[in-house]
Structure 1
Amino acid sequence: MSPLIEIRNARKKFMGTPVLDGITLSIEAGERIAMLGPNGAGKTTLVRSMLGFYHLDEGEIRVMGKDPIRDRVEVLRHIGFIPQLPPPVKLSLDELLMYIERSTGTPKGAVIAQAERMALDVKQHASKPFFKLSGGMKQKLLIAIALARRSRLFVFDEPTASLDPKARELFYRLLSDLDYDYSAIYITHRLEELEGLINRKIYMELGKVVEDEPIAT
């Protein structure tokens, strides 16, 4: 059976500076990975390359056997992505949830239910543009959308950076309560918060993987 994600000799430069320096990784279905490392280590660039945001200079990436550039729509159909910085979406919450429902088949009510579990009352803010929400409210809604879609793979880039301690606790409780097999990649500086949720740790530095080890759960 093919790996969920296969990365071979991935190289990427920005303005002549190597950001990914020959990374080779294999990620199997069911793995839940904490991706660690200092700012500038290449973590976000690697993940965004998996999602088809960036073209590699060298090497290749396959996600579920597909090219994330050429087959991007198909790849993203199975992935719930929470960026560190929410996009400046001008749609109201009601319009956004209608768009999600039509484009992914995720029922609006399922998103609202997940948002309520994150202590976000979507109905109260239904007419408000997404970009005018607070950072924490944006993050809660993006988390609710990803979880409601029941994605096969979650990719979280510092998902709790804008959340207060109570909201972080709710987020991790929701993940613990998921009732199906999923894979996840967490870009994080808070390894201790992921205890019990991850089974592998990858540490990056200067565009390279310098540590990769399983974690007992």
Structure 2
Amino acid sequence: MKNIVEVRNVTKKFMGAKVLDDVSLQIRLGDKVAMMGPNGAGKTTLVRSILGFYHVDSGSIRVEGYDPIVARVDVLRHISFIPQLPPPVKLNISELLTYVERSTGTAKEEIVSQADAMELDVEKHMAKPFFKLSGGMKQKLLIAIALAKKSRLLVFDEPTANLDPKARDHFYRLLSSIDYDHSTIFITHRVEEIEGLANRKVYMDLGKVMEDEPI
């Protein structure tokens, strides 16, 4: 089966300290990866390197065959990313949805539909700046945008951190209902929460992949 992500012997340093230490990882189409490990293990740095946010010091990363630094637009076209902390976007909701539609081709109506499924009434808040929404509302909208985009790679960094139990259930139900071929990376501390959604566990510590096994 085709690899969506190929990480080969990647090392990344910050202030002289190795945050990623000779990491190799392949993610195939259909893999649903629970990426686990203590704080500072390198999980988020690895994901942000896959997204092209960081230049690595050695090794290589490919997403759908593209280098995420050289061909960042092509890489991001295939990825939906939900960060742990929502970005401080100053656009109002209407402007944000227009931006997403124009930059990714994702229809506003599809985003609104996904938001409705998360019990977020987007129409009611169109004039409100994104940064003024509650933490839970921001997360619901980011989830709606990510799922509406129908990306081949979904990357979630603690996506339910700001959600109440009911909203978490809606999120997991939506993930279970995705009906196209895709891969998922969940950065999580609670593998039991995504039981049934993940088929593989990658455990990192000290910048290394310590375990990589099916679940």
Name the TM-score, length of structure 2 as normaliser: 0.98
Q: Would you say the 8 A contact 1:2–1:65 is kept in 2?
A: no
C-alpha deviation, 1:204, in angstroms: 0.2
Q: Would you say the 8 A contact 2:2–2:29 is kept in 1?
A: no
Cα distance per residue 1:156-206 (max 9 Å; x no partner): 000001111111111001001111121000000110011111111000001
Q: Point out 4+ residue stretches in structure 1 off by more than 3 angstroms.
A: none
Counterpart residue type for residue 132 of structure 2: K
Alignment partner of 1:86 is 2:102: no
2:151 corresponds in structure 1 to 151
1:66 corresponds in structure 2 to 66
Mapped to 2, the partners of 1:10 and 1:98 lie a distance apart of 37
2:109 corresponds in structure 1 to 109
1:130 corresponds in structure 2 to 130
SS in structure 1 at match of 2:112: helix
Mapped to 2, the partners of 1:163 and 1:138 lie a distance apart of 10
Q: Would you say the 8 A contact 1:154–1:185 is kept in 2?
A: yes
Query: What percent of counterpart residues are identical?
Result: 70
SS in structure 1 at match of 2:23: strand
C-alpha deviation, 1:47, in angstroms: 0.3
C-alpha deviation, 1:18, in angstroms: 0.9
In structure 1, the gaps of 5 or more residues are: none
Mapped to 2, the partners of 1:34 and 1:165 lie a distance apart of 20
Alignment partner of 1:37 is 2:63: no
Counterpart residue type for residue 86 of structure 2: P
1:24 corresponds in structure 2 to 24
2:202 corresponds in structure 1 to 202
Cα distance per residue 1:104-156 (max 9 Å; x no partner): 11110100010011111101111000011111111100000010011111000
Q: Would you say the 8 A contact 1:157–1:188 is kept in 2?
A: yes
1:179 corresponds in structure 2 to 179
C-alpha deviation, 1:2, in angstroms: 4.8
2:214 corresponds in structure 1 to 214
C-alpha deviation, 1:21, in angstroms: 0.5
C-alpha deviation, 1:17, in angstroms: 1.3
SS in structure 1 at match of 2:151: coil
In structure 2, the gaps of 5 or more residues are: none
C-alpha deviation, 1:103, in angstroms: 1.1
SS in structure 2 at match of 1:4: strand
Tell me how many residue pairs correspond in the alignment: 215
SS in structure 1 at match of 2:101: helix
Mapped to 2, the partners of 1:117 and 1:2 lie a distance apart of 31
Q: Would you say the 8 A contact 2:42–2:205 is kept in 1?
A: yes
1:9 corresponds in structure 2 to 9
RMSD: 0.8
Name the TM-score, length of structure 1 as normaliser: 0.97
Cα distance per residue 1:26-53 (max 9 Å; x no partner): 1111101000000000000000000000
Mapped to 2, the partners of 1:4 and 1:179 lie a distance apart of 18
